[in-house]
């Protein structure tokens, strides 16, 4: 699939309810007890993007194919997970496999839904999860240090270089700070080493998903206000969602869904915001290919060059890349068709060094 976001959090905060709504399935068993989700459930979700459907309509495309993100519902974590408490090791192993983390935090009171910590406190819950991830990363770093220090002592040059990176990482973790928040201080080389060589957990980008009751969608409660203020201070984005409402929305017909959203003063489901924030978190953009047969959206990292973007479609297109015919959506929409845009000279010819921009509509020239 390419890019995945893990839904994590303490038990009974609404992870599985949210996952069910995201994937519009009942794959994850939502129940009022801890660890009802044991194996990670995986759901593939279309990225909401009105531009895709506008292009398809204007080009009279027979087929429309959105781009997708993968969401993984991971078993609830408890205190001591890094030491194997609850389903700790299994939980942490599953996080290693995702690209980003969406931590669900309960921001509502409900006497009928037990809280594993005995009370509702989203900031405490966020810190519990993050401290467990930090503890696991420290364990990984210390194990690696034992091997590298021995090699460095006997004069191994590569070991000495690796030792410097490990000590810099350890210093951050021992101060109980996730690595992602010290990205600039550590530098790209150290961050890449933490991600690609050590597979550390706290180097992954994270967002908070504040699960609220219906009333708090229009009038934020104190739990939500405190969380937003805390998150702003540490630079973590917050998406506010009522998982219960999202689950209700997917059971409705389109018109009923619009009416219910309007009743709560919402323009769109919260899930759309969640998927878009996941996109933003991973530094992703969308480009399009369009024609009579199909209009399709594609996902690439920001900064991807044209040949590599072509490779997303087919490896032969990257290997035999010649040039890319490009028009951005904003320019395209002014004229209303690719044919007209070409007539007016608005379609540019770009070479192998061109970086694909969000909203580009592209035709790749290649020869194998």
Identify whether the C-beta of residue 174 lies closer than 8 Å to the C-beta of residue 138.
yes
pLDDT value for 77 = 64
Q: Are residues 270 and 208 part of one domain?
A: yes
CB atoms within 10 A of CB 265: 8
Residues 6+ apart with CB under 8 A from 342: none
CA distance 70 to 20: 13
**Domain contains 108:** yes
**Domain contains 217:** yes
Q: Are residues 359 and 247 part of one domain?
A: no
Q: Are residues 312 and 194 part of one domain?
A: no
Q: Which helix (H) or strand (E) holds 278?
A: helix 270-281
Q: Are residues 147 and 16 part of one domain?
A: yes
Q: Are residues 196 and 138 part of one domain?
A: yes
Between vectors from CA 322 to CA 321 and to CA 327, what angle results, nearest 5°? 100
pLDDT value for 78 = 58
Q: Please provide the DSSP assignment of 290-340 as one string.
A: --SSEEEEEEEETT-BHHHHHHHH-HHHHHTEEEEEEEEHHHHHHH--HHH
**Domain contains 295:** no
Token pair listed for 70:
């993968």
Identify whether the C-beta of residue 77 lies closer than 8 Å to the C-beta of residue 8.
yes
Q: Are residues 241 and 102 part of one domain?
A: yes
**Domain contains 151:** yes
CATH number reported for the structural domain that contains residue 341 in this entry: 3.10.20.30
pLDDT value for 252 = 84
Instruction: Tell me the three state secondary structure of residue 70.
Output: strand
80 backbone φψ class: left, alpha, beta (φ>0; ψ -120 to 50): left
CA distance 282 to 294: 27
Which residues contribute to the annotated binding site for ATP?
Answer: 12-17
| Residue where a domain stops, chosen among 281, 315, 333 | 281
Kindly give the parts of the chain with pLDDT less than 70.
Answer: 1-2, 24-40, 75-91, 111-118
Token pair listed for 86:
């609850």
CATH number reported for the structural domain that contains residue 100 in this entry: 3.40.50.300
Task: Identify the domain containing residue 315 by its residue range.
Answer: 303-366
**Domain contains 298:** no
pLDDT value for 114 = 56
Token pair listed for 310:
């072509």
| Residue where a domain stops, chosen among 281, 311, 339 | 281
Please state, in angstroms and as integers, the Cα–Cα distance from residue 29 to each residue in 15, 17, 108, following that order.
10, 8, 21
CA distance 183 to 74: 26
Q: Are residues 333 and 268 part of one domain?
A: no
Identify whether the C-beta of residue 297 lies closer than 8 Å to the C-beta of residue 2.
no
- The mean predicted confidence, pLDDT, of the chain is 87
Q: Are residues 307 and 227 part of one domain?
A: no
Q: Are residues 226 and 175 part of one domain?
A: yes
pLDDT value for 35 = 37
Q: Are residues 136 and 90 part of one domain?
A: yes
Residues 268-319: tens digit of each pLDDT: 888 888 988 999 999 999 999 999 999 999 999 999 999 999 999 999 999 9
Q: Are residues 132 and 230 part of one domain?
A: yes
**Domain contains 11:** yes
Q: Are residues 164 and 55 part of one domain?
A: yes
Phi (first) and psi of residue 122, to 5 degrees: -60, -35
**Domain contains 294:** no
| Residue where a domain stops, chosen among 281, 312, 332 | 281
**Domain contains 296:** no
Report the domain count for the chain. 2
pLDDT value for 25 = 45
Which residues contribute to the annotated binding site?
Answer: 12-17
């Amino acid at each position: 699939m390419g890019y995945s976001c893990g839904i994590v959090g303490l038990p009974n905060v609404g992870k599985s309810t949210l996952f069910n709504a995201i994937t519009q399935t009942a794959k994850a068993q939502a129940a009022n007890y801890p660890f009802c989700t044991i194996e990670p459930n995986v759901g593939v979700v279309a990225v909401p993007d009105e531009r895709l459907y506008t292009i398809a309509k204007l080009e009279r495309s027979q087929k429309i194919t959105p781009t997708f993100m993968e969401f993984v519902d991971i078993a609830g974590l408890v205190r001591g997970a890094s030491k194997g408490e609850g389903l700790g090791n299994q939980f942490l192993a599953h996080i290693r496999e995702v690209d980003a983390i969406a931590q669900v935090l309960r921001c509502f009171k409900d006497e009928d839904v037990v809280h594993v910590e005995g009370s509702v406190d989203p900031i405490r819950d966020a810190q519990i999860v993050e401290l467990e991830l930090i503890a696991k990363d420290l364990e990984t770093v210390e194990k690696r240090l034992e091997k590298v220090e021995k090699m460095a002592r006997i004069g191994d040059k590569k070991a000495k270089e690796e030792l410097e990176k490990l000590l810099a990482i350890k210093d951050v973790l021992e101060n109980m700070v996730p690595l992602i928040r010290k990205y600039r201080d550590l530098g790209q080389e150290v961050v890449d080493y933490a991600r690609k060589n050590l597979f550390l957990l706290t180097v992954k980008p994270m967002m908070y998903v504040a699960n609220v009751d219906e009333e708090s969608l229009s009038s934020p409660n104190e739990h939500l206000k405190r969380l937003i203020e805390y998150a702003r201070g540490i630079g973590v984005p917050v998406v506010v969602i009522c998982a219960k409402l999202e689950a209700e929305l997917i059971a409705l017909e389109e018109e009923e869904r619009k009416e219910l959203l309007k009743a709560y003063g919402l323009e769109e489901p919260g899930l759309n915001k969640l998927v878009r924030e996941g996109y933003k978190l991973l530094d992703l953009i969308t480009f399009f290919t369009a024609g009579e047969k199909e209009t399709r959206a594609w996902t690439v990292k920001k900064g991807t060059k044209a040949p590599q973007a072509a490779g997303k479609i087919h490896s032969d297109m990257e290997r035999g890349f010649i040039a890319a015919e490009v028009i951005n959506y904003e320019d395209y929409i002014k004229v209303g068709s690719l044919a007209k845009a070409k007539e007016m000279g608005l379609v540019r010819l770009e070479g192998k060094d061109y970086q694909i921009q969000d909203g580009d509509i592209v035709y790749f020239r290649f020869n194998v």
